[in-house]
Amino acid sequence: MKRLKIIYWTSTVLFAGIFGTTGTLYLLHHHTFVQRTLELHYPLYLIDIIGTAKILGAIALVVPKFNRIKEWAYAGFAFDFIGAIWSHLVVQGLGEYLLILVPFSILMISYVSYQRLRQQSAIPRLKVTQKNEQ
User: What is the C-alpha separation between 86 and 81, in angstroms, rounded?
Assistant: 8
Please report the DSSP string for 110-126 in residue order: HHHHHHHHHHHHHHHHH
Whole-angstrom CA distances from 17 to 67, 70, 71, 118, 123 are: 19, 16, 18, 23, 31
CA contacts within 13 A on the Cβ side of 42: 19
User: What is the C-alpha separation between 61 and 114, in angstroms, rounded?
Assistant: 10
28: which DSSP letter? Answer: T
pLDDT (tens digit, 9 = 90+) per residue, 61-73?
999 888 899 999 9
pLDDT for 85: 85
User: What is the C-alpha separation between 16 and 133, in angstroms, rounded?
Assistant: 41
pLDDT for 84: 87
Q: Is 43 left (phi over 0), alpha (psi -120 to 50) or beta?
A: beta
Q: Report whether pLDDT(127) > 60.
A: no
User: What is the C-alpha separation between 102 and 15, in angstroms, rounded?
Assistant: 10
Q: Which pTM was predicted?
A: 0.82
pLDDT (tens digit, 9 = 90+) per residue, 8-63?
999 999 999 999 999 999 999 999 999 989 988 899 999 999 999 999 999 999 99
User: What is the C-alpha separation between 116 and 113, in angstroms, rounded?
Assistant: 5
